[in-house]
Amino acid sequence: MLQIRSVAADDPVDSDVSKPVAEMETQPVIELDDIQKVYHTGEVDVHAVRGVSLKVMPGEFVAVMGASGSGKSTLMNTLGCLDRPTQGRYLLDGIDVSRLDRDELADIRNQKIGFVFQGFNLLSRTSAIENVELPMFYTHRKISGHEQRERALKALDLVGLAARADHHPNQLSGGQQQRVAIARALVNEPALLLADEPTGNLDSQTSIEIMGVFQKLNDQGMTVVMVTHELDIAQYTKRTIVMRDGKVLTDTPVTNRLKAEVELEKLRDAQKSVQLS
């Protein structure tokens, strides 16, 4: 919370900061009310999501799981304001976004949501810091070049990559690229961090490191929702939602929650013992 707030403190215009803490705790970040999504492909209507209602409160860390075709990707696209639901209401940080037009959705994505993708989706041949600055380029409020750089550097610092600000994606490892992507997602101080299989392209140790970054951000107050199909990755979150056939099958708090620091320590010990033997 502290570090994210410190980024936000430099930015008095941002609405989140001015909100009283009590109100923030009572108002859900995500409130879905009977969300349905139907794709009209040819003659058959595909019901990808058939009636999902759920609430995500600030500071939650949610894993959405499910087999392919369960509707979790469609749900993520809806949550990410990349797509509009066919039916139902979606309140994001108190704003009804279910009926906004394309341009308004773009602004919501810019201000309220930070995306982290499986394939990192960084602009190649563009330095890490310029990638992080990208969302601010599309912010309507004028942000000076100096402020952009400062905020981007802070976001990179938050994910531990400030030293590599001028490296290009092809000079960074997969884990480092994903950290840059997370920094990019954080730079506009969103209400919600959405991650779509963020560890899908990473080896197990790097995956745990990235989960550590998410846990750290969540500890600081960031609301995180991620899609994953790996059970052990879901163990790092606080709440697991399992979907099947476009509906929520189970919605349970995570017991035996894993801590990334502890798991990394275990991994290092294991590696040491292998080397010793």
Kindly state whether residue 86 participates in binding other proteins, applying the rule CB under 8 A: no
Piece in contact with other proteins (CB under 8 A), picked from 21-29, 105-113, 199-207, 220-228: 105-113
Q: How far is the CB of 39 from other proteins (least distance, A)?
A: 11
Instruction: Give least dist CB 82 to other proteins, A.
Output: 5
50 to 79, contacts with other proteins by CB under 8 A? 77
Applying CB under 8 A, the site for other proteins has a residue count of: 26
Using CA atoms, how far apart are residues 85 and 35, in angstroms rounded to an integer? Answer: 6
Decide if residue 109 touches other proteins (CB under 8 A). Answer: yes
- The neighbouring-strand residues paired with 171 are none
- The footprint of other proteins on residues 160-189 (CB under 8 A) is 184, 188
44, 103, 274, 277: which one contacts other proteins (CB under 8 A)?
103
Distance of CA 26 to the CA centre of its chain: 21
Q: How far apart are CA 249 and CA 267, in angstroms?
A: 33
Cβ proximity to other proteins, 115 vs 214, nearer residue? 115
DSSP assignment string, 167-195? --GGGS-HHHHHHHHHHHHHTT--SEEEE
Q: What is the dihedral of CA 251, 111, 179, 158, to 10 degrees?
A: -100
Interface pick for other proteins out of 135, 169, 212, 246 (rule CB under 8 A):
135
Q: Is 102 in the site for other proteins (CB under 8 A)?
A: yes
Task: Rule CB under 8 A: say whether 141 interacts with other proteins.
Answer: no
By three-state DSSP, how is residue 145 classified?
Answer: helix
Binding to other proteins (CB under 8 A): which residues in 226-245? none
| Residue (186 or 260) nearer to other proteins, CB | 186
Taking CB under 8 A as the rule, does residue 110 contact other proteins? Answer: yes
The answer to the question of residue 83 lying near other proteins (CB under 8 A) is yes
When asked if residue 39 is in the footprint of other proteins (CB under 8 A), the reply is: no
Residue closer to other proteins by CB (options 130, 209) is: 130
Residues that bind other proteins (CB under 8 A): 77, 80, 82-83, 102-103, 106-107, 109-111, 115, 117, 121-123, 125, 134-135, 137-139, 142, 145, 184, 188
